[in-house]
Amino acid sequence: MRLATFRNGKTCILYDADSLCDANGTPQIEPATLAPDYWRHSGRILGEAPGRGASLFLDAGDDQWVLRPYRRGGLVAHLSQNRYVWRGADHSRAFREMRLTAQLHEQGLPVPRPVAARVTRHWLTYEAALITVRLPGARALADCLDEADDDLLQRVGRTIRRFHAAGLDHVDLNARNLLVDAEASVWLIDLDRCRLRRPGRWQQANLTRLERSLHKHLTPDIASHVTRQIQHGYG
């Protein structure tokens, strides 16, 4: 995967040159490609994922893509839902997530292949979006818990362990950011604000956050069993 940048006015795009360039090396992407209205007007939106970011599933021809606009949560969202303080494109949340996802993908870790990230500057602020390849048949772990057996739950634990071994601190590890595909393989998504770190207490903090998420979806007894199986797989 080769990451390249493309600038158009106030917009800067970081994209996978191996999949988004023609034979002459010209990028086959533009700012509109990372805007929801472009896909709505062309009638190529296949669906929408739940959550604050309102991710869209897109018909991109040979592949399906996921377009995720960046959205704020918490109290700060009352001031601005989609604007962030500008400190340069390379410091934007979208570019950092794009590079981190590409790095993990190149290491063979189960993350969706990143396609492109876009930041558009508005004087002292910016807005952003990210496109990744959609995983066929994948569902959030939260939607699979009623049918998840111990083998799958332990596979979740082993997957988390692989990411921790690579140093990934996933600051929002929850039952919706773990996906299970049609082959029952486990994937990790939404690396916004995540980073690579040396081993430390953050690893247990990740697992504790996931446990809290499970208790939101399950009764206490079942959530405790699910947690034990994931921890067993984690080792």
Q: What is the C-alpha separation between 118 and 94, in angstroms, rounded?
A: 7
Taking each helix axis from N to C terminus, what angle separates 220-234 and 202-217, rounded to the nearest 10 degrees? 150
Tokens for 170, please give them: 């996933």
Which alpha helices (DSSP H) does 122-181 contain, by range?
A: 150-165
- DSSP for 79-111, please give it: T-SS-EE-S-GGGSHHHHHHHHHHHHHHTT-S-
Angle, to 10 degrees, between the axis of helix 202-217 and the axis of helix 150-165?
150
Rounded distance between C-alpha atoms, residue 172 and residue 190, angstroms: 8
Q: Whole-angstrom Cα distance, residue 5 to residue 11?
A: 10
Residue 172 falls in the annotated catalytic set: yes
Strand order in the sheet with 186-188: 139-140, 178-180, 186-188
Q: Rg (Cα) of the chain, in Å, rounded? A: 18
Residues 6+ apart with CB under 8 A from 191: 97, 100, 101, 104, 111, 168, 170
Q: Which entry of 59, 143, 150, 172 is annotated as an active-site residue? A: 172
Tell me the catalytic residues. Answer: 172
